[in-house]
Structure 1
Amino acid sequence: MSATHPPKVENFDLAGLSNTDPKGFLRQVDRWDQRDGMLYMARPADHPRFGYLESWLIPALDLRVNRFHFRDGEGGRFPGQDLYVDIALINRGDLLWRTTDLYVDLVTYAGGRWEVLDLEELGDALLAGHIDATTAARALESSQRLINGMLDEGGVDNWLRSQGYPLSWAEEVTLAAPEKA
């Protein structure tokens, strides 16, 4: 059993141009875009491994699709990481959106490689009472729908486009400086 933790909650304040991460840090957002029932966020990141983050929140599919812009030599868990997809409950308001992470993640890489992460965390959270059986089942169903769609359509982007959720990404970003230790 891994160390269990309650689901991570994140806020997206459109009026305040800010994103409050799961640890409570307020991050300034460069750009929002709302369309097709989705929310796009682009913001600098002072993380040691990446300097910019783009995310699409897709409430109808329980997905947060992320693209991390890594610093040189910091390619994520494996080199060539493309998308990092969180399975999440997404509450959308007019000016405030909120995600509740449901533990399961899917990561895609250049060359067609992909993997599912953190299924054990989902089970541990269920056993610890952090989520109920209905929520765990929803996370698994959303994960399976994503995997099936990705395999059927030849990738996450292709599947999302076929479902009416075309994603677009910044052509160029400026990496923020890493946080000083």
Structure 2
Amino acid sequence: MAGVHPPKTQIFDPGARVQIDTKGTRREVVALREEPWGLYLSRPVVGRPNAWWIEVWVLPELGVCLSDWRWRPGHERDQDMYVDIAAIERDGRVLRMTDLYLDLVVRTGRETELLDADEFVAAVGQGLLEPRLAEYALERSHAVLDGLARHGHDHLAWLDSLGIDPGPRAEPAPPADLTGPR
């Protein structure tokens, strides 16, 4: 696989109430909560025609970032939760997340699918991911996949088994272009 991108990084800054995406764009968040297990945020999706909202749970100790997307009509996906395997470092309140290529798609009660193994292998082969991080990514992806499978492919049951309460969720109102005139 030619042309694999270097690992993507994001920054979550609770003090500034922003998420700085992989391109350096500051995304202001609507809801943000710091928890003992990490960080929850909820924000509109800007500049992406297929989605209008995202909720994110960053769990540094587990090496994962869970994302729940709200899709625009016609762009729905068969997924209940998207899991990025990541190296997450804390600097005070700021979290820096480096995506380690491997992702999981949870279809609650049915299955969890591993994605981007080809991209992971290519990145390791091209020296974009150092061996220590590659090994960490494999260990984390297998542990998370195993935990999800043991809990019926239910991310909430899996988190509960680890003593993690993801807390209340933001309930955004759909944008006007999804609901029509009021």
So what's the TM-score if we normalise by structure 2? 0.88
Q: Deviations over 1:5-51 (max 9, x none)?
A: 11000011111111111012111111211112211111111221111
Cα distance in structure 2, aligned partners of 1:9 and 1:133: 18
Deviates most, 1-10 or 63-72: 1-10
Q: CA deviation at 1:114?
A: 2.8
Structure 1 gap ranges (5+): none
Q: CA deviation at 1:157?
A: 1.8
Partner of 1:31: 31
Q: Which amino acid aligns with 1:13?
A: D
- Number of matched pairs: 175
Partner of 1:56: 57
SS at match of 1:159: helix
Report the RMSD for the aligned CA atoms in angstroms.
Answer: 1.8
Paired-residue identity, %: 34
Larger RCO (CA under 8 A, 6+ residues apart): 1
Cα distance in structure 1, aligned partners of 2:160 and 2:43: 23
Q: Do 1:57 and 1:63's aligned partners in 2 also have CA atoms closer than 8 Å?
A: yes
Deviates most, 22-31 or 98-107: 22-31
SS at match of 2:80: strand
Query: Aligned in 2, Cα 1:169/1:45: closer, same or farther, shift over 3 Å?
Result: farther
Q: Which amino acid aligns with 2:90?
A: R
Cα distance in structure 2, aligned partners of 1:111 and 1:41: 25
Cα distance in structure 2, aligned partners of 1:143 and 1:109: 16
Partner of 2:135: 137
So what's the TM-score if we normalise by structure 1? 0.89
Structure 2 gap ranges (5+): 178-182
